[in-house]
Chains A and B, each alone.
Chain A
Amino acid sequence: MDKKLIAKRSVAALLVLLTVIVGIIAFSTISPAEETAVLKMGSSGSQVRTLQTKLNRWGYDCGTVDGIFGSKTLAAVKQFQKNNGLTVDGIVGAKTAAALGMTLTSGSSSNSSYNSSDVYLLAKCIYAESRGEPYLGQVAVGAVVLNRVKSSSFPNSISGVIYQPYAFTAVIDGQINLEPNETAYSAARDAMNGWDPTNGCLYYYNPATATSSWIWSRTVKLTIGKHRFAV
């Protein structure tokens, strides 16, 4: 029996052991990535303005400098990242910002972007709850969230309503963390601007997937797509 083979096998076994240990350690110490200042789809404010101005100046087309990170800005950022050998993720983090010659700050800007983060949250909720539904159905889901904010029986902020326990299935099963698409953004903006196809409804449900029995007892006001909207 050659010793080399044995040695090899021993080494292999040790490697397996090592992998297991490393895996266990990595698994048990996994932690969410540290929050740093980034600009991404849905961001807005003076930093986005700076970003757009810079990109436009260098021939990447962001459209009008409006301080809102929309689809055009996203495309421009991706192109910039591609041309500069950066990870093409459309997110302006520290590396992309450095390549652009700008420094990202966080904190002080949170106040000024209050409303944009509301649009972002609302779009996330709409996308998670009703993507695949007709456009109007998506606006209606946004309107239901905003109607709840206005109602005394629900929390008084968009985040409060969306993250209210057991209110939205998409929050419970984690779908809320999917990135919303353009349609969801448009629907969110429509709802924020007052379009309410539900006539003030506080509830909606999809008869095929509804789990709470009490929701059937509400007066149904209208049906858009698969969702029924109830008072």
Chain B
Amino acid sequence: MLRDASGNMVLTKGWKIFHIVTAIVLLTAIILLSVFLGLSKSSESAWMEMSENNFESAYYTLSDSLLNIENNLSKLRVTRSDSLSGEMLIEIAMNSQTAEANLAILAYSGYDMSALVKYCNQVGDYSKYLCSKITSGEGLNDEDYDTIGKLYETTYTVSKKLGEVKDSLMAGNKILTGMNELNQYFTDIADGLTDGSIVYPSLIYDGAFSDSLDESQPKALTGEDIDSSGQESRIRKILCDYEVESITYKGEGDNGFATYIYDVTLKDGSTVYLQIAKKGGSIVMWDKEFDSQEPKLTVAEGVELASQYMYKQGYKNMKGVYACVTDSVLYVNMCYVIDDTVIYPDMIKIKVNLDDGKIIGFEGLNYIYNHTERTLDKPQITEGEVRNMDFGGLNIESVRLALIPVEGGKERLTYEVFGRLDEYAYYVYIDAATGNAVKVLQVIDSDEGELLM
């Protein structure tokens, strides 16, 4: 920059050009920025609009599904044809699934939908249960029709209350921004379903979402209550693969029965979490932190180690029935076996580290709840008859007797048919008394384990 004699700045031609260019650059930048900000503002409102549309679409689909459920429940009350009832029940189950999926979307807008989710889950599950009653030939009884009637009333009320949301939406409220206005409708429904002001029959049936309180008693617990202190030698015996450094009693736990919880520090510095039953001191579960290493032992060797551990801990007639390996960890399902019949409900899971052959975990809750001496019915059909049944091209690899748990805490004696079709493995369970297929399992997990014979 140049200065004249009095010290004032003189702009040369070049500097003028520079200033003009700078001014243009700045101006363009400002214009561009404001255009961009304006655009992002408008894209924000576009996003808002899109979200609102999604939420409203979810709301309307939910309303439609509930209306369909209501309608089918209503018709069911006056239908006594099995095939027609079955169709209606399937409609209800499908619509409750749609309703649940849309409730999940609506919940993203911030409303608490858990009471409605529970309602949809139960209605769908109960319908499936009724449907299976019909297909098994049992049919529906008066009690079922009574429940259907009450469920109709529930759905009618819920639908009607949900309809009030529509009125509010039509009045210009938005799901996304009108929470103050709309939340009341949803809260009303939730409150009504939980405080009993909306008729809502308690659903007790053989299904996953039944209201039946889990009244099952731990069948395998016997003996006197033990003290939480003085269990050192017992705990050392349970962790016989390790050198115990110290044992800390953490307090009582509740698994439907009382347990004592301990933290055990081992000499190698790692910690074991351990739970034993207050009554008799059975192992409930324990788990040890480990580093996954290169497996050095085979699955068969690992299963053998698990069997030895079970024997040492005083469990008799336990056999490895299924094994699955991830990295160096082998999970073995050990089941009680009588008369060559696998008793699946009496299951204990053992974790073996295939690196050093040590047991690193034990889970015995199923065994504690279910194990008891049973008298099994004699199968009415033979293994040969099962092998000759039509399994649609399944290449049967093995058939054995197995007692399996069925819905509602019951047990059933079946033939377990294991086979492959294409690349998939299947387990088909055939009722040993009637020859009906009870359950089909497909191994869809690629953590595919192997059945141990």
Contacts and interface: CB of A to CB of B under 8 A. Distances in A.
A114 interface: yes
Q: How large is the interface on A (under 10, 10 to 19, 20 to 34, 35 or more residues)?
A: 35 or more
A134 interface: yes
Given A6-B14, A112-B446, A14 B25 contact: yes
Contacts of A112: 444, 446
A97 interface: no
A186 B330 CA distance: 11
A87 interface: no
A10 B208 contact: no
A63 interface: yes
B22 A193 contact: no
A166 B104 CA distance: 12
Interface stretch (B115-123, B170-178, B233-241, B395-403): B115-123
A28 B40 contact: yes
B interface secondary structure, majority: mixed
B296 to A, nearest CB: 11
Contacts of B36: 24, 28
Contact of B2 (A1, A6, A63, A186): A1
B428 to A, nearest CB: 19
A154 B100 CA distance: 10
B287 A63 contact: no
B251 A222 contact: yes
Contacts of B325: 64, 66
Interface stretch (B27-35, B138-146, B369-377): B27-35
Contacts of B14: 1-3, 5-6
A20 interface: yes
B135 interface: no
Contacts of B285: 195-197
A186 B32 CA distance: 52
B254 A221 contact: yes
A112 to B, nearest CB: 6
B12 A1 contact: yes
B253 interface: yes
B445 A115 contact: yes
Interface in A179-199: 182-183, 185-186, 189-190, 193-197, 199
B394 interface: no
B200 interface: no
B234 to A, nearest CB: 19
Interface stretch (A68-76, A98-106, A124-132): A68-76
B209 A152 contact: yes
B292 interface: yes
A168 B150 CA distance: 35
Nearest to A219: B254
Contacts of B351: 190, 193
B108 A165 contact: yes
Contacts of B39: 28
B100 A156 contact: yes
A116 B253 contact: no
B168 interface: no
A17 interface: yes
10 contacts: A17-B25, A20-B32, A44-B446, A135-B289, A152-B121, A152-B209, A193-B349, A193-B351, A195-B363, A196-B365
Given A13-B22, A195-B287, 5 more contacts: A9-B18, A14-B21, A115-B445, A116-B446, A193-B331
Interface of A: 1-3, 5-6, 9-10, 13-14, 16-17, 20-21, 24, 28, 44-46, 48, 63-64, 66-68, 70-72, 111-116, 119, 134-136, 139, 150, 152-156, 160, 164-166, 182-183, 185-186, 189-190, 193-197, 199-200, 221-222, 224
5 A-B pairs with the lowest CB-CB distances in the bound complex, closest first: A115-B445, A152-B209, A135-B289, A44-B446, A136-B273
